[in-house]
Amino acid sequence: MILDIVTYPAASLKEKCVPVTEITDEIRQLAADMLETMYEAPGVGLAAPQVGRNIRMLVMDPAAQDEEKQPRVVINPELTLSEETVLSRQEGCLSVPLNYRADVQRAERVHLRYMDLDGKLVEEDLEGFAAIVIQHEADHLDGTLFIDRIGRLRRSLYDTRVKKWLKRKG
């Protein structure tokens, strides 16, 4: 089922999410619906708060469009970031309206520890685009949007655009 995506400036996107304590059929269904929603959008990642659920779960698939799909369901992620940084060029977000994009500094590599849908603990190292995607989506679980990581002036200009857009939208 395609879920509605919550968009900025919704207050719920600023909330810190609670850990998933048990893998239930409801969690499995939510994961399937989130993957379907992400692919339909189209996007490469989607966090539970983006679909109105305040839990520490995200889905992602950093594979290029011409590659075979590599969907991942990540529950209660813990990230250890490398000190080297890379510029994520023209980062965007399904929850950030007006197709706004900006450059964001991200860690070049990430050690990821999480639980999968079988309740197994998984550890892996990600780099490149996959590392950027997991950082972006994990930020959502802490109430952070990529626009919180851009300069104050750019953010102010974007907020003004959103206010005008919301006013016109009625």
- Enumerate the active-site residues: 137
What is 31-56 written as a DSSP string? HHHHHHHHHHTT-SEEEGGGGT--BS
Token pair 């974007």 is found at: 158
CA dist 49 and 15 (Å) reads: 8
3-state secondary structure of 70: coil
Who's near 43: CB < 8 A, 6+ residues apart? 94
3-state secondary structure of 62: coil
Are 96 and 154 spatial neighbours (Cβ–Cβ below 8 Å)? no
Are 87 and 122 spatial neighbours (Cβ–Cβ below 8 Å)? no
Question: Residue 42, Cβ neighbours under 10 Å: how many?
Answer: 10
